Amino acid sequence: MLNIGSLNLSSNLILAPMAGISDFPFRMLNRKFGCELAFVEMINVHSISHKSKKTAQMLFSHKDDRPLGIQLLGNEQKYIEKAIDILKKYKFDLLDFNAACPARKVVKRGEGAGLLREPKKLEKLLKIIVKNSSWPVTLKIRSGWDKDSVNAKEIAVIAEGCGINGLFIHGRTKLQEYSGKVDYKSIKAAKKTVKIPVIGSGDNFSTSLIEKMFAETNCDAACVARGALGNPWIFKGTQPAEEEIISTMLEHLDGCIDFYGERSAILLFRKFFAWYTKGFRNVRHLREKCCHAKSKKDVLHIVEELQKL
């Protein structure tokens, strides 16, 4: 049992927010395979304030898409407060604040991982979020800015002092982005220091690596991001046969078409085809074909060729 504030979870695996990926069809598919808590894509507080059509689509959910987390990105008090106020009309279960995104354009604005260099400012923002939130609040961080300024433990103490209910820690620095090795020690140090749940993130690509995360860090839960791309079976801890992969891929395709319409869904689904077929042999030419697919019919023809390999 994992308890994050008032949110009680039976699973200790959580589906991370991923830009351009963790949309409604993706979440619902992963839930069928055992995913319990899932996140919408990371949302900038300015986008919520502007009430854009894209943001509304990102926030779309229904009663079967629960429990659901929303992750906010920002660094300005007035926009954070406004975003939280707008979110009160939506039904979800957890509010996460991002101080981990390493994207250059994000950090340049002083958001995401940029806040790791300004712990006082981060502390101020966390207090504001906790004060204004009616949901459990969590924080997502990295181990630090670079190898010489690993401060996950210190940030964890600050977060707990602000009333945060849980902490997600990606065991890489901002400068590492997604390269190099995960620093399990920084996650373990934070876990030993605070009483709130700590969720380990980074390289949770398989059941064995997830087990390593738990063993090396003693964390309370593991966050699955890239490990779920074309692989919802990671939540079951099973290895599917190729036939099951293909049928699941087509189910995901239909879900995308129902949600976005055929034209937009096909453009989105091209990358998923590559992820689903990662373990297949001699599929490079089919992936290239899929990059030019424009309709469901095109994709089905490609799948027919895949089944003949």
What was the pLDDT predicted at 1?
86
Question: Can you tell me the mean pLDDT for 229-235?
Answer: 98
pLDDT band at 51 (very low <50, low <70, confident <90, very high): confident
- Cβ atoms of residues 146 and 175 within 8 Å: yes
Q: What is the average pLDDT value for the chain, to the nearest integer?
A: 96
Instruction: Determine the angle formed by the axes of helices 296-308 and 242-260, rounding to 10 degrees.
Output: 180
Looking at residue 115, the DSSP 8-state letter turns out to be G
Q: What is the pTM of this model?
A: 0.95
pLDDT band at 39 (very low <50, low <70, confident <90, very high): very high
What was the pLDDT predicted at 185?
97
What was the pLDDT predicted at 145?
96
What was the pLDDT predicted at 54?
85
Question: Can you tell me the mean pLDDT for 293-297?
Answer: 96
- Cβ atoms of residues 87 and 61 within 8 Å: no
pLDDT digits 0-9 by tens, 246-270 = 999 999 999 999 999 999 999 999 9
Question: Which domains are delineated in the chain?
Answer: 2-235 (3.20.20.70), 242-308 (1.10.1200.80)
CA torsion sign for 290, 269, 241, 208 is positive
pLDDT band at 233 (very low <50, low <70, confident <90, very high): very high
Q: DSSP secondary structure string, the chain? A: -EEETTEEES-SEEEPP-TTT--HHHHHHHHHTT--EEEPPPEEHHHHHHT-HHHHHHT---TTS-SEEEEEE---HHHHHHHHHHHTTS--SEEEEEE----HHHHHTT-GGGGGG-HHHHHHHHHHHHHH-SS-EEEEEEEESSTT-B-HHHHHHHHHHTT-SEEEEEEEETTTTT-S---HHHHHHHHHH-SS-EEEES---SHHHHHHHHHHH--SEEEESGGGTT-GGGGTT----HHHHHHHHHHHHHHHHHHH-HHHHHHHHHHHHHHHTTT-SS-HHHHHHHTT--SHHHHHHHHHHHHH-
Cα–Cα distance between 98 and 43 in angstroms, integer? 9
What is the length of the chain? 309
Cα–Cα distance between 35 and 126 in angstroms, integer? 28
pLDDT band at 27 (very low <50, low <70, confident <90, very high): very high
Tokens 């923002």 correspond to: 125
Cα–Cα distance between 243 and 51 in angstroms, integer? 42
Q: Quick one: which of 50, 54, 203, 142 has its CA closest to 40?
A: 54
pLDDT digits 0-9 by tens, 276-288 = 999 899 999 999 9
Question: Can you tell me the mean pLDDT for 199-211?
Answer: 97
pLDDT band at 164 (very low <50, low <70, confident <90, very high): very high
Cα–Cα distance between 94 and 206 in angstroms, integer? 25
Catalytic residues: 101
Question: Can you tell me the mean pLDDT for 222-244?
Answer: 97
- Cβ atoms of residues 137 and 128 within 8 Å: no
- The answer to whether residue 94 scores a pLDDT higher than 90 is yes
pLDDT band at 309 (very low <50, low <70, confident <90, very high): confident
Cα–Cα distance between 8 and 101 in angstroms, integer? 27
In this prediction, what percent of the chain has a pLDDT beyond 90? 95
pLDDT digits 0-9 by tens, 137-155 = 999 999 999 999 999 999 9
Cα–Cα distance between 113 and 117 in angstroms, integer? 8
